[in-house]
Structure 1
Amino acid sequence: MKKSYLLTALVGCMALSVTAQDNKFANQPANPRGSTDGATTAPGFSHPNQYLHVQATQIADNMEPVIIHQDEVDEARKKLAEFEKRTGEKPNILFFLTDDVGYMDFGFNGGGVAVGNATPNLDRLAAEGLILTSAYSTPSCTPTRATVMTGQNPLHHGLLRPPMYGEPGGLGGAETVASILKKLGYKTQGVGKWHMGEVEGSVPQDVGFDDFYGFLGVSDMYTEWRDVYFNPEIALSPERTKMLAELNFNHYNVHVTPEKGVEEVYEIDLESIKNLDQDWTRYSEEFIESNENSDQPWFLYHNTRGAHFDNYPNEDFAGKSRARNSYSDAIVEIDDTFGRLIAKLEATGQLENTFIFVGSDNGPEQEVAPYGRTPFRGGKGSTWEGGTRVPTFVYWKGMIEPRKSEGLFFYADLFNTALSLAGASGTEVNKFIPEDRYVDGIDQTAFFLADEGQSARKSIIYTMNQHLAAVRIDEFKYHMVVQLQDAIFSQGLKGGFSGAVIPETGGSVMVNLYTNPQENLGIGNRYLPIVTQMGAEVARYAKVLAKYPPNIKVAMPGSK
C-alpha cells in the first residue's frame, strides 16, 4: 500500500467523517427552541461545506489542518488511478492567471456581456467545470503569485507587497510548485507576467522553470513614466525620464533558461506593450503544440498582462468590447487568449489529459480607472471581500463534474493540489521542503474530483501587509485589521493602497457574508457563540505564527 493511501486511511479511522457527525444527531429529540412565535420542533438541515462545528484534523505539524471526507478521498483516488491506467501518464497542469480582474468581470460570475465585455470562451469552460464562488487570493499581485508558487500565505513567504522599479524580490531559491513538479518528472514552462523579483534566487530559472518567456515586472513599470497623459511631470522632463530609463529594473520582454539566464528580447514601451498578450499567447500555443506527442507531462504557468493598468489595447481588440474602454477591451482579449489555448489543447488531443485552473491574482484595482467590477466591498489592497474574493474555476474534461460550490478555497491550495495530481499527496509534500517551512495550502484533489466533492478547508486566513487581518469560517467573517478606503482622501484616487489600515478593530467585528456580502453590517454582539469560535481559530493560527514566525522580505514602508 502506498504511503499516501495509508496516511489517508489512518486519518480516516482516527476521525469521524463530516457526514457521520451530521447524522449522529438526526434521530435525537429536538432541543427546546423557538422564537417570539413560540417553540418549534423543526429539526433543521445540514448543508455541505459548513464546518463551524467540526474539528479539523492535523495531518502534520507544519501543515494546515484539514477536513477529511473519506468517501470523497476514495472516489478521487479511484478516478486518478483509472486515469493513469487509461493514459499511462500523469495529467498536464495549466494555471491561467489573470491580473487585477474582478469577481464580476467574467460572464460565469454574472459579468461578461452584462458589464460590456463578453467572455464566451471562459464561460463555456466554466460551465463545464467547477466554479468556485468562495475562492481567495491575497490582497495584491506579488503576494498571490508567491502564494501560488510556495503554498504559503504572505506572512510565511515574506513578499507582503509587489516589488517595484528595481526593488529586490524575495523567493530566495525556494522550492516551488514548479521545482517540485520538475522533480516529479514534469516539463515546466512559465509565460507572461512574473513579478516576484529580478534578483538571483527569485527569477524563474532559479525556482524550477525549464523555460520562461515574458516580463519580470508589471505593466505600469514600463508605461506610466513614458505617458504624457498619466505622468507628464516625468514624461515631459528629459532628466526625470532619463532617471527612469536608467533605473535598475529590467525594461524588456525576456527569454529565460537555466543554461543562458535572462536574455532580453525586445524593450517594452507604449507600442510593444499592446502586443504582449498576443506574443505570450503564441508562445504558449507553441509550447502546447510541441508536446503533442510527448510522453512527459507538463506544467504551464500562463499569466496574462491584462487587465492591469495601463491597458493599451491591441489594435485587433481596441473597441471590441461593448464598453469600448481599455479595461473591457483587455478582458475581451484575455478571453480570446484563453480560447486559443483551449483550441490548441483540443487540436493536439491534450484537453482530456490537462487539469486547468483559471483565476485572478487579486480583486479589481480601484484607483486608476477604468477598472474591474466586484459585488463586494473594497478592492485590491484590502482584505474586504472585493480585494481577495476572485473569479475562479477548475476544469478537467471527464474528471471534474460540472457544478458550483461555495466551499472555501485559498490560492495556496494550488501548490498542494498540483503536487497531489502529480503523485505527492497529503504529507508527501514534506519530502520536498525544509522541516521549518509551514505549508498554508491544503490538498483539494477530492474537492475537485469527487462528483459532489466538498472543500477540505475549514477556514480562510486573511493577511494584509504584516497583519493577521481576518478569518472566515462558513458564512462568517471576523475582522481584526481592516482597511478604510476613504479614510485619508476625501476626493480623487482613493482606496486600494491609498486607504488607511486600522490595526485594531473591536472585540466582535463580524459579518455574515450570505446575508451581507457588502460587509457593512456588524453582527458580532448578537452572535457571541460564533464569535468565540472565530476567536479560537484566530488563536490557533497565532500559535502557528509563533512556531513558524513570519519571514518578511518585501514590506510596506514603515511596517514593523
Structure 2
Amino acid sequence: MSFTPTRLPDRVKASLWAGSLGALVVGAAMLGVSLSSPALAENIRGAATGPTTAPGFSHPEQYIHLKDVKPADNMYPVIQHHEQDKAAQAKLASLAAKTGKKPNIMIFLLDDVGWGDPGFNGGGVAVGNATPNMDRLANEGLLLTSAYSLENTLIIFTSDNGPECEIPPHGRTPFRGCKGSSWEGGVRVPTFVYWKGMIAPRKSDGLFDLADILPTALDLAGVPGAKLAELFPKSTYIDGVDQASFLIADDGLSARRSRIYTLNQYYSAIRIDEFKGVATGEIENGVVQKGFPGGFSGPVFTDTGGAIVFNLYTNPQEDVSIGIRHIPMAVLLQYPPQFKISASCPTILRSTTSSPRSKKG
C-alpha cells in the first residue's frame, strides 16, 4: 500500500505544539541566551551559600532539543545511538556464533488489555486477577512503561489497544479514555520484552510503538537500519523504528523521538518526550451521559481555541492543558496517511486530498 503525502491545514499546524506513534518531519528550536556580562558568566551553578560540586541529573531520553534523522527517504526519523548500536550488534554476533542461527521471535498480542490489568503494572492480585507468569517474565526482562524462559527467543508481550469500556466489566487503565479514543487510555498498553541472557532486567519510559516491531525483527534477522528500505518500494512509507539496540544494549535508549496519534480519519496528536500536543480528540460523555462510555460513543472535536498540550509525566490523566504557559517547540510539516472510516461502509479509503475533512476512494 502506498500513500501520497497530504499537507495538513494551517488550523491544525497552529494548534500543534508538541507530542508523541506515517511520515513525520519534526523540527525543534531551542532558545539560547548569551551571557555577555562577566558577573553572569561567573555565576557558577549552586546554592545561595556557594557553588555546588554535585554533577546534576542527566535526562538521557529527553529528545526535544535533538534532531532526528531519517535512515532512508521513506523511513520514520530516529535518534541515533551509534555506540549503543555497536554494543547491541556485538551481543547479537556473539549469540549467532554460539547458536549458529537467528533468534526466534514470539509475540503475545492480547486483545483490549488495560495498562493497569497485569500485576507488573499494579494490577494482578491487587485487583483480584493474579498474573504470576507474566509478572515473572516482566520482572526478568525489559518492562516498557510507555509503548509500551526459552532459549534464543525474544518474547514480546503487549496489547493491541487499551481496554474496551463501552460495556462493563472492562479492563483497567489509570489514563484518560479507553479503546477507540486517542487519549492515553486508548493507546498506551502494558508491554514487556523478555530474552534470556540478552536483555537485562530494567524499566524504561522510552517511546516504543507496535509499528517498531517490524524493523526491530528485521534487524534481528540481519537487515538493520536503512537496509530495511531496500525491501520495500520507495512509495511505501515505513513508520516503524528499529529498536533492536534499545532492547538489547545494556541501559539502551529508545531510538524513537516522537509518536503520531490518529483518530479515525484525523491526525489527532503528537508526543515528544513527556509532552503531547493535541489537535483532535474524543469528547467523553458527549452523547451517553450514564457512566463512562469508553472510546466509541463520544463525538469528536476537530477545532480548538488554542494550543492543547499535556505533560504526561505530571498529568497522565490529560485533564490540565499547559499549552498556554509551556509551549514545547515542535512543528509538524507533513503527515502522509489520511483515512476515512464510514459506518455504512467499513472499507478504509485512502485520501490523497489536502484536507483531512475530504475523502477520496
Q: State yes or no: 1:358 paired with 2:157.
A: yes
The answer to whether the 8 A contact 2:265-2:340 is kept is no
Shift of 1:110: 0.7
| 1:511 counterpart SS class | strand
- Aligned match for 1:480, one of 273, 279, 283: 279
Rounded Cα–Cα distance in structure 1 between residues aligned with 2:196 and 2:299 = 45
Alpha-carbon shift at residue 427 of structure 1 (Å): 1.5
Give the distance between the partners of 1:388 and 1:31, measured in 2 at CA.
48
Q: How does 1:339-358 map to 2 (within 5 A)?
A: 351-358=150-157
Query: In the TM superposition, what whole-angstrom CA distance separates every residue of 1:421-450 from its partner, at most 9, and x where no partner exists?
Result: 111111111222221000110000000000
Alignment match, 2:6: none
Question: Counterparts of 1:426 and 1:506 in 2: how far apart (Å)?
Answer: 41
Separation in structure 2 between the aligned mates of residue 31 and residue 61 of structure 1, nearest angstrom = 46
Q: Which of 55, 60, 65 is 2:72 aligned to? A: 60
Is the contact made by 1:132 and 1:393 (CA closer than 8 Å) also made in structure 2? yes
* Residue 379 of structure 1: aligned partner: 178
Look up the equivalent residue of 1:109 and give its one-letter code: N
Letter in 2 for 1:497: F
Write out per-residue CA displacement over residues 508-540 of structure 1, whole angstroms, 9 at most, x where no aligned residue. Answer: 100111111111111111113x1xx23x1x23x
CA deviation profile, 1:243-266 (whole Å, cap 9, x unmatched): xxxxxxxxxxxxxxxxxxxxxxxx
Does the Cα contact within 8 Å between 2:164 and 2:171 map onto a contact in 1? Answer: yes
State how far apart, in whole Å, the 1-side matches of 2:73 and 2:49 are: 45
- SS of the residue aligned with 2:151? helix
SS of match in other structure, 2:97: helix
1:430 equivalent in alignment to 2:229:
yes
Q: Name the structure 2 match of 1:145.
A: none
Are the equivalent residues in 2 in contact too, given 1:32–1:39 (CA < 8 A)? no
Match of 2:63 in 1: 51
Asked if residue 444 in structure 1 is aligned to residue 273 in structure 2, the reply is no
**Structure 1 length normalisation: TM-score?**
0.52
State the match for 2:15 in structure 1: none
- One-letter code aligned to 1:367: E
- Quick check: 2:261–2:269 contact (8 Å CA) kept in 1? yes
Aligned match of 1:115 = 127
The amino acid across from 1:47 in the alignment is H
1:512 paired residue among 290, 294, 311: 311
CA contact (8 A) 1:465 1:556 kept: no
Give the direction of change, closer, same or farther, for the CA distance of 1:56–1:557 in structure 2 (3 Å limit): farther
Q: Are the equivalent residues in 1 in contact too, given 2:143–2:204 (CA < 8 A)?
A: yes
SS in 1 for 2:324: helix
Letter in 1 for 2:90: K
| Aligned twin of 1:213 | none
CA distance in 1, matches of 2:280, 2:226: 32
Task: Find the residue that maps to 1:526 and give its secondary structure.
Answer: coil
Asked if the contact 1:33/1:39 (under 8 Å) is kept, the reply is no
CA distance in 1, matches of 2:300, 2:51: 46
- Given residue 313 of structure 2, which amino acid in structure 1 is its aligned partner? Y
Quote the offset at 1:45 in angstroms. Answer: 2.9
* 8 A contact 1:104–1:111 mirrored in 2: yes
Choose 422-431 or 66-75, whichever is displaced more. Answer: 422-431
Identity of aligned residues (%): 55
Tell me the distance in 1 between the aligned counterparts of 2:300 and 2:49: 45
Sort the Cα spacing of 1:554 and 1:487 in 2 relative to 1 into closer, same or farther, 3 A.
closer
Superposition map of 1:398-547 within 5 A: 398-491=197-290, 494-528=293-327, 530=328, 533-534=329-330, 536=331, 538-539=332-333, 543-545=334-336
Q: How far apart, CA to CA, are the structure 1 residues paired with 2:67 and 2:343?
A: 36
* Aligned equivalents of 2:238, 2:42: Cα separation in 1: 41
Whether 2:189 is the aligned partner of 1:390: answer yes
* Aligned AA (2:280): V
- Compared with structure 1, are the counterparts of its residues 362 and 40 closer, same or farther at alpha carbon in structure 2 (3 Å cutoff)? farther
8 Å Cα contact 1:482/1:505 also seen in 2: no
Q: Which amino acid in the other structure matches residue 419 of structure 1?
A: L
CA distance in 2, matches of 1:492, 1:513: 25
In structure 2, relative to structure 1, the CA distance for the partners of 1:510 and 1:78 (3 Å cut) is: same
Matches within 5 A, 1:58-207: 58-136=70-148
Task: Tell me the distance in 1 between the aligned counterparts of 2:319 and 2:340.
Answer: 34
Q: Counterpart amino acid of 1:112?
A: G
Identify the structure with the greater helix proportion: 1
Q: Distance in 2 between matches of 1:44 and 1:31?
A: 18
What is the CA–CA distance in structure 1 between the aligned matches of 2:308 and 2:103, rounded to whole Å? 44
Aligned equivalents of 2:342, 2:284: Cα separation in 1: 19
Number of residue pairs matched by the alignment: 305
AA matched with 1:502? F
Aligned to 2:169, which of 370, 389, 393? 370
Instruction: Tell me what 1:140 maps to.
Output: none
Q: Which has the larger radius of gyration?
A: 1
**Aligned residue in 1 for 2:351:** none
Cα pair distance change 1:377/1:41, threshold 3 Å = farther
How big is the shift at 1:33? 11
Asked if the contact 1:358–1:393 (Cα under 8 Å) also holds between the matched residues in 2, the reply is: yes
Q: Do the aligned partners of 1:466 and 1:555 also contact (CA within 8 Å) in 2?
A: no
Equivalent residue, structure 1, for 2:19: none
- Taking the aligned partners of 1:462 and 1:30, their CA distance within structure 2 comes to 43
CA distance in 2, matches of 1:390, 1:31: 48
Rounded Cα–Cα distance in structure 2 between residues aligned with 1:438 and 1:33: 48
Distance in 1 between residues matched to 2:308 and 2:130, nearest whole Å: 38
Determine if contact 1:465/1:555 at 8 Å carries over to the other structure: no
Q: SS in structure 1 opposite 2:226? A: helix
Q: TM-score, normalised by structure 2?
A: 0.79
Q: Name the amino acid aligned to 2:113.
A: V
Distance in 2 (CA, whole Å) between partners of 1:427 and 1:55 is 17
- Cα deviations by residue, 1:8-64 (Å, 9 ceiling, x for unpaired): xxxxxxxxxxxxxxxxxxxxx879799xx9999778532121101111112211111
Gaps in structure 1 of 5+ consecutive residues:
1-28, 137-345
Q: Once the 2 structures are TM-superposed, how far is the Cα of residue 553 of structure 1 from its aligned partner?
A: 7.4
